[in-house]
Structure 1
Amino acid sequence: MKITIYSKDLYTYGAMLVGGILKETHKHNIKLIKDIKNKKLFLKSDIVILSLYSTLNIIDPVIKDTVDYLKSKNIKIYVAGPVSAYPEIILNELNVDGVILGEGELTTPEIINGSKDGLAYFENGEMIVNKPKSKPDLDFSKIYVPKDIAAQNVRGANVYIETHRGCLGHCTFCQVPEFFGRDIRSKPIELIIEEVNELKKNGVNRIAISGGTGSLYNFKNTVNKNKFIEMIESVSNIIGRQNLSVPDMRVDYVDEEVLNAIKNYSIGWVFYGIESGSDKLLNSMKKGTNSKKNLKAIELAKDCGVKVAGSFIVGHPKEKEVDFLMTKDFIVDAELDDVFVSAAEPIPKTELCTEVLNTKMDENPTFISHNGPYRRYGLKENEARAYDLMLHSEMWKSTPRVITTNLSKVYLDEAKMQGSDIRKATELIFKYRDFLI
């Protein structure tokens, strides 16, 4: 059977993995593409799978138009990926045959053969949601590697590979524990090595290790540091330490051994989800940490010779002006090597989504007009805070940058784009409030 998998903008690991299973194990003819504008690429397909990762993908007019076009050609279309957590929205917004729920490695081949386990769809005007019967063990060894994968750039890497799934955290804004669960399922080192060799053979020279919190690899009641270190050393020996990053870490699952391994076997960076300098807001987000612990983890990484990037969230419905000012103070104290700022996004089925749905729009920073120092730009409050924090962060990094007119414009445009996207996503969840609360 001819199956085309569309992975929006980039070749995600999930799309490559399902593509590999369909091709190698089930002998289907697979094509993986990331550009949807050329509809002719789909026309010889028996089935099209849209691998989508963002709420905004669902209301993307180009995707909607393509779906309608393919339906007019009687091509069967399924949606998969992280957005499958909220099939009610997808099935009402896109004219597709069904939504492949959860982790699709086990269910996708069966659905293609006619099974409805793990599938959400309309039947006689009624929505049927058949949840998957089980979660897969991570024992798949073949991924589908596109020929142009080496040209891809995802935060400096050609590709992110997956070493484990699941997260122990309870962060209210995060979809990972809801989608993958809180039990840590890890891939055998032998299979990780096999994938890395396959990627390298196809021209990949920069790899990042994903999984939410890298040091949770092979977690069994406690951090298994030896397995984690063995794993990144093995990957580093293949790809080279200068070409490997292990960025995403929780501050409560790092110590000197973990950080020294990151220094010795990778480019030597960690990426902490700090989110806020306000302990009150961190508690509301259920981060499981506080500003003191965050500063200590940053200091420990620096002592080990590891560079530290931190991410921050602004525009949370419970973020007050004092919370935002505390975040600015934290950035001064931390002197991070890099900073990433995001407006709070209410991903459907997360606790943050419920909070936003229970917050009046005229009390939500996403919709409140900013009347402070940036009012001449016509910003909403979350956009103003994002812009302000981006500028502020540049002055307090370990290596400060001069705020030029061009840099200021880049950050202003970024803040406006984030604000627009979050408004669209928020308006969409309000449209389906009854499904989500």
Structure 2
Amino acid sequence: MRRITIYSPNCYTYGAMTVGGVLKEKFKDRYDIKLVRHLDNNTLNLFLKSDIVILSLYSTLHILDNKLKEVIEFVRKQSKKRDKNIKIYVGGPVSAYPEVILGEMKVDGVILGEGEISTPNVIEGDREGLAYLENGEVVINELKEKPELISKPLIPKDIGNQNIRGANVYIETHRGCLGNCTFCQVPRFFGRRIRSKPLELVLEEVKEFKRKGAKRIAVSGGTGSLYNFKKDVNKSAFIELLEGIGNIVGSKNLSVPDMRVDYVDEDILDAIKRYTIGWVFYGIESGSDRILKSMRKGTNREKNLYAIQLAKENDVKVGGSFIVGYPGEREIDYLLTKDFIVEAELDDVFVSIAEPIPKTELCNLVLKTPLEENLTFKPHMGGYRRFNLTESEARCLDLMLHGEQWKPKPSVITKKKFLLYLNETKRQGEDIRNITRLIFRYRNCLM
């Protein structure tokens, strides 16, 4: 039997598992489907025994991974020596910018869009839904069709050993987002129309994940409460979803990590309190209305504070995520974010430096900003100067420390914790600079 190996770096993403499930169902008598997450000697041997290798990549940084590039080159050489034509394709969210992948990685093609339809096409030898190089030129065969969300994922036997922010797996309940945030890839990749998976199928999947050893489940899909969302209709579908999953895994083993402040109300928060671990995570991003408008968040400081207070009144703990170093962020904008954290008293704070994901509006803004004016390249000359940080890195570190001090129960900043945040900040800064250099190399096809 022929073999297809799907590699999902470091973790089994739901997208990789979904594609694996589709291929297993369609080609069960022709291909043995394997799903792996570690790039080690066992995986390398598996690649060499495969007829098709699919790299399911979810971060721009994967495109820059030199170890992965070396593995691709090694497989190509060994394939030639053994007179075996192993096909290597890239899929996943990075497929939104195939020109970059084909310029950086020696693969046979990029599987475009949502993989349920395009991947089987490619396996069958069809080029619909595939981008590839032909005579040095990039050929892109877009697949316009949007799949129904009815596929069953291929669940690995070791799913219970996986840990992604405390959960064994992030399940997908719907695709699409009504938002229009400039830094987010979701509306572009999945569209703005909400497509939801049938409740019965979601619950069946949760039971199967539990049988395979998964204990902690997180509901993904961008904004959880958009599940089966229709205007002027109550939120009963989302509440029923949480109740159903909570009854299977237990409320202590279910989380809903990502929510928009403009799609929560008392009923939703009550359901989160009753059926989940009792946390909600809002994408606040900034305390400056000017920056929020630039990000097209569709919210403002007042709405964000109201949603936080509403959650607290319903006895739900609140985490907030923030972005620093956004193009045009002034010192006053950053100080307004610090003031917001003081007023909000969040139970947890997550800080990241603005990442220009290719083909997002943020990417275009970064490409229009000279590097000497980019805060992730501009040296910091203030209080953290001795740590050789850029302005974005200094704000990231400072906001992490500030968030710890303004929790309802403030945390002591030990030397160990300080160094942990400092190293995390430097890692983020270096990653964003590498991505920025990458998009500048391909600016002609990204803008």
Q: TM-score range by the shorter chain?
A: over 0.9
- How many residue pairs match? The answer is 436
2:121 and 2:129 in contact (8 A); partners too:
no
The 5 A counterparts of 1:160-239 are 160-222=170-232, 224-239=234-249
Q: Are 1:64 and 2:69 matched, yes or no?
A: yes
Pairwise CA distance, 1:68: 0.9
What letter is aligned with 1:20? G
Alpha-carbon displacement from aligned partner over 1:192-237 (angstroms, at most 9, x marks no partner): 0111011000011100000111000001224641111111111111
What letter is aligned with 1:34? R
2:88 and 2:108 in contact (8 A); partners too:
yes
2:379 and 2:390 in contact (8 A); partners too:
yes
Number of the residue aligned with 1:40: 45
What letter is aligned with 1:245? S
1:395 and 1:402 in contact (8 A); partners too:
yes
Pairwise CA distance, 1:37: 2.9
The 5 A counterparts of 1:233-382 are 233-382=243-392
Q: Are 1:80 and 2:91 matched, yes or no?
A: yes
Give runs of ≥4 in structure 1 deviating > 2 Å: 221-224
**Structure 1 SS opposite 2:375:** coil
What letter is aligned with 2:428? Q
Q: Percent identity?
A: 66
**Structure 2 SS opposite 1:248:** coil
Cα distance in structure 1, aligned partners of 2:234 and 2:205:
22
1:262 and 1:269 in contact (8 A); partners too:
yes
Number of the residue aligned with 2:6: 5
Number of the residue aligned with 1:404: 414
**Structure 2 SS opposite 1:105:** helix
What letter is aligned with 2:149? L
Q: So what's the TM-score if we normalise by structure 1? A: 0.99
Pairwise CA distance, 1:13: 0.2
Number of the residue aligned with 1:17: 18
2:353 and 2:432 in contact (8 A); partners too:
yes
Alpha-carbon displacement from aligned partner over 1:76-121 (angstroms, at most 9, x marks no partner): 0000000000000000100000000110111101110101111000
**Structure 1 SS opposite 2:115:** coil
**Structure 1 SS opposite 2:306:** helix
1:223 and 1:253 in contact (8 A); partners too:
no
Q: So what's the TM-score if we normalise by structure 2? A: 0.96
Number of the residue aligned with 1:30: 33
Alpha-carbon displacement from aligned partner over 1:175-197 (angstroms, at most 9, x marks no partner): 01000000000000010011101
Cα distance in structure 2, aligned partners of 1:223 and 1:329:
36
What letter is aligned with 1:100? I
2:167 and 2:218 in contact (8 A); partners too:
yes
Cα distance in structure 1, aligned partners of 2:358 and 2:176:
18
Q: Name structure 1 gaps, 5 residues minimum.
A: none
1:132 to 132, 136, 143: 143
1:155 to 148, 165, 179: 165
**Structure 2 SS opposite 1:115:** coil
